[in-house]
């Protein structure tokens, strides 16, 4: 029996949505189509109908955008790592600015947010200093496909640094042992410093990070400061743009040397190391034990830092019933937990700089901050992830 295909529908795309798809309307219904571009007229087939919106599969580009380019990677469209290789880079930057504005408007309720043009990455390609691979069934390294389930082996990756490309090739030649389900490859600021680590599970379901290659740590140099980062600890993947973030945070805070500053979700101390010389005191909070250990090394020369290990909500509730003059917040993609945000607002920092890696959760948390008396001054998007829809933003609040 032959399965009937969904009929094609033709419509114009009017914007880019958070998540990377282009969006248009057909018969009044919003339709999201990946690998298409705002401004194009396309033919698509509906693959999922949610009632008030639908998801489509691109069948044909009838009128292509002037921003459409040929993707250089043979895996593009199947591999889930990149979703915007088909878009001219300058257009990617503007789409990201628009997405940040849209999320602040729709979710945050801020209709007139000042969202500056996105700061471009110095490198559009070969910028990632670390990357997480999955093991395929036959021992190759690969990425999760666009179906979010299947791991596909890859032969090339255009967004990782060349040193990681060489290392990835060697692993694929040798094969990866079955216990190494996920493998992280990492290269330091100095190209010869290479790290490979794996998350290995046991019969209880717990996991540990195990070093496969290297010393178990790498070093990154940002604005002249060397950061030690062990396997499993977070550090920004795009090193030049990490420096951009630091500069923006310092510029937005404009510290005078008398302030007590809170650094929430402080990681290995990226912001703390540059806040300390400009503040009277810095209190840094981080929940991940290896990152805290890294921070102790990275911040050892400073005497005005209080480093606390624990979740944001735990530490703010138990130890920090008091006032902060300013705060830097750099939460994970999920944003701040409601309890943490509530405790932060009790501390009443007069200036707050929120470093976000997800426009939707930034919009959600902005709504709560504005509702508690803060004013959103502006938002500066920073392109940490070229060729993808992901975007970093630095939002400044005052009260």
For 117, counting Cβ atoms within 10 Å of its Cβ (0-12 exposed, 13-18 middle, 19+ buried), the class is exposed
| Among 146, 163, 182, 165, CA closest to 389 | 146
118 strand-pairing partners: none
Helix axes 359-371, 89-106, angle to 10 degrees: 40
Is residue 357 among the annotated active site residues?
Answer: yes
Residues 6 or more apart in contact with residue 357 via CB below 8 angstroms = 332, 333, 384, 390, 391, 392, 393
Q: How far apart are CA 57 and CA 59, in angstroms?
A: 6
User: Cα angle vertex 79, ends 232, 137, to 5°?
Assistant: 70
Strands 53-63 and 41-49: antiparallel
Q: How far apart are CA 263 and CA 113, in angstroms?
A: 25
Active-site option among 73, 79, 82, 357: 357
SS3 content of the chain, % helix, strand, coil (to 5): 25, 35, 45
| Residue 15 phi, psi (nearest 5) | -165, 175
Q: How far apart are CA 268 and CA 236, in angstroms?
A: 11
For 173, counting Cβ atoms within 10 Å of its Cβ (0-12 exposed, 13-18 middle, 19+ buried), the class is exposed
Q: How far apart are CA 184 and CA 87, in angstroms?
A: 28
Q: How far apart are CA 364 and CA 106, in angstroms?
A: 9
* DSSP code per residue over 206-238: -EEEEEEESSSEEEEEETTEEEEEETT----S-
- Helix, strand, or coil here: 355? strand
Which residues are marked as active site? 357
């Amino acid at each position: 029996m032959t399965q009937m295909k969904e009929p094609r529908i033709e419509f114009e795309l009017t914007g880019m949505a958070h998540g990377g798809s282009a969006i248009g309307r057909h018969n009044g219904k919003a339709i999201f189509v990946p690998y298409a571009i705002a401004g194009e007229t396309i033919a698509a087939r509906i693959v999922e109908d949610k009632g008030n919106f639908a998801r489509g599969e691109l069948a044909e580009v009838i009128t292509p955008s002037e921003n459409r380019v040929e993707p250089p990677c043979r895996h593009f469209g199947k591999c889930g790592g990149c979703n915007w290789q088909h878009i001219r880079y300058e257009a990617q930057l503007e789409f990201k600015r628009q997405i940040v504005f849209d999320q602040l408007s729709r979710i945050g309720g801020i209709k007139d947010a000042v969202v500056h043009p996105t700061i471009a990455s110095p490198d559009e390609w070969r910028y990632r200093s670390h990357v997480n691979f999955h093991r395929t069934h036959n021992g190759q390294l690969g990425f999760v496909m666009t179906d979010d389930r299947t791991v596909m082996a890859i032969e090339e990756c255009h967004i990782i640094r060349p040193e990681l490309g060489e290392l990835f090739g060697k692993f694929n030649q040798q094969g990866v042992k079955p216990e190494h389900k996920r493998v992280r490859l990492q290269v330091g600021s100095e190209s010869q410093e290479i790290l490979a680590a794996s998350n290995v599970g046991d019969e209880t379901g717990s996991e540990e990070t195990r070093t496969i290659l290297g010393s178990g740590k790498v070093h990154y140099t940002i604005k002249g400061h060397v950061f030690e980062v062990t396997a499993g600890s977070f550090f920004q993947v795009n090193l030049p743009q990490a420096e951009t973030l630091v500069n923006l945070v310092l510029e937005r805070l404009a510290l005078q040397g008398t302030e007590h500053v809170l650094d929430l979700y402080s990681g290995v101390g990226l912001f703390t190391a540059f806040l300390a010389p400009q503040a009277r005191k810095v209190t840094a909070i981080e929940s991940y034990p290896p990152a805290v250990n890294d921070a102790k090394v990275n911040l050892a020369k400073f005497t005005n830092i209080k480093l606390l290990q624990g979740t944001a909500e735990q530490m703010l509730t138990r130890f920090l019933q008091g006032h902060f003059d300013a705060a830097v917040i750099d939460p994970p993609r999920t944003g701040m937990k409601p309890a943490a945000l509530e405790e932060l607002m009790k501390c009443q920092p007069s200036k707050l700089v929120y470093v976000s890696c997800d426009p939707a959760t930034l919009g959600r948390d902005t709504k709560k901050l504005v509702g508690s008396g803060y004013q959103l001054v502006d938002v500066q998007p920073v392109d940490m992830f070229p060729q993808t829809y992901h975007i970093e933003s630095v939002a400044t609040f005052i009260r």
